[in-house]
Amino acid sequence: MSAVADTAPPGAADARIARAPWVLSAPALMLFVGVLLIPLAMTVMLSFHDWGQYKGIEPVFILKNWHEIATDPYYAEMFWRTFRIAILTTLLTALLGAPEAYILNRMSGRWKSFFLLVILGPLLISVVARTLGWALLFGGNNGLVNKLLMSAGLIRAPIPFMFTETGMVIALAHVMMPFMVLSVWAALQRLDPQIENAAMSLGAGPITTIRRIIMPQIMPGVLSGAIIVFSLSASAFATPAIIGGRRLKVAATLAYDEFLNTLNWPLGAAVATLLLVALVLIVVGSNALIERRYAEVFR
């Protein structure tokens, strides 16, 4: 440092120090701008362009696409369905994932690492393969489970799973479960190992201990897991595409269809932009609420 001060006037050295962070982060910033900000801005711009069956995309500024989304109840239904599925998926993962993480945390050494692997293992398998597994089990008359139950005479018609919202929620919950378990698991690691004994010594039974002592402390973990699961489910593509197909579209599959099948890129861009804006608002808003509500636990 002193060598620099010797050869250059002090002002220049200061300027160089001030520039250093920018120079050092420039490669990452350029990547960020190049592959995220520019395409994003182009997509937003695209949503204001005109499109016609024969004329293609016309680079003009009109609100046609946004007007269509705002007035046609078809799009409202689509977005409502998207968020309904995301909310139900989030609830399901929270209801199953939080107890799962708690039980996992109470297991002893070797079993704990084994079951942690079982929970995380599916992350190594493609979402498409995992969702196709559900289709193999429940897909119409040829689904394995449906076939077995029907030949056993337990059901007459196949269990409705494919092309239903229930099926989509179940398959999405399966795909998203590891994120919830990991998030709750991280919160459980912060618990004082003696906290349950402390509650017990004061006269609390196991249910009271979980409800009054454990739950409030792992709630931030459940909620941050919920944010991850919600945003991933609302923007999920593969699972809704396989389970819902063309018959039961959500925002992501709708945008995909507009881009690649109808070739109405501007409308697809408007759908994608709206989904992004809605998700960002929901996630940032709930995150702020959670941090304020659980300030003491986060500290």
Cβ atoms of 78 and 254 within 8 Å: the answer is yes
CB of 299 to another protein, least distance (A): 5
Q: Which residue's structure tokens are 């804006």?
A: 277
Select 56 or 206, whichever has its Cβ closest to another protein: 206
Contact (CB, 8 A) for 195 and 216:
no
Hey, what are 193's tokens? 């190992």
Furthest-apart CA atoms within the chain: distance in Å: 92
Task: Considering the complex, state which of residue 99 and residue 205 has its C-beta at the smaller distance from another protein.
Answer: 205
Pick the closer one to another protein by CB: 205 or 245: 205
Note the residues at the interface with another protein (CB under 8 A). Answer: 192-195, 197-205, 208, 212-213, 216-217, 294, 296-297, 299
- Closest approach, Cβ 125 to another protein, in A, equals 37
Please name the residue that has the structure tokens 């077995």: 148
d(CA 2, CA 51): 63
Residue 255 is given by DSSP the state H
- Token pair of 267 as six digits: 């409308």
Nearest-approach distance from CB 210 to another protein, in angstroms: 13
Closest CB 289 distance from another protein, rounded Å: 16
Query: At closest approach, how far in Å is the CB of 212 from another protein?
Result: 8
Instruction: Compare residues 67 and 190 and give the one whose CB is closer to another protein.
Output: 190
* Residue 146 burial (C-beta neighbours within 10 Å; 0-12, 13-18, 19+): buried
Q: How far is the CB of 190 from another protein (least distance, A)?
A: 9
Three-class secondary structure of residue 16 per DSSP: helix
- Sorted by sequence, the CB contacts under 8 Å of residue 142 that are 6+ apart come out as none
Query: 80 or 111, CB closer to another protein?
Result: 111
| Closest to another protein by CB, 155 or 198 | 198
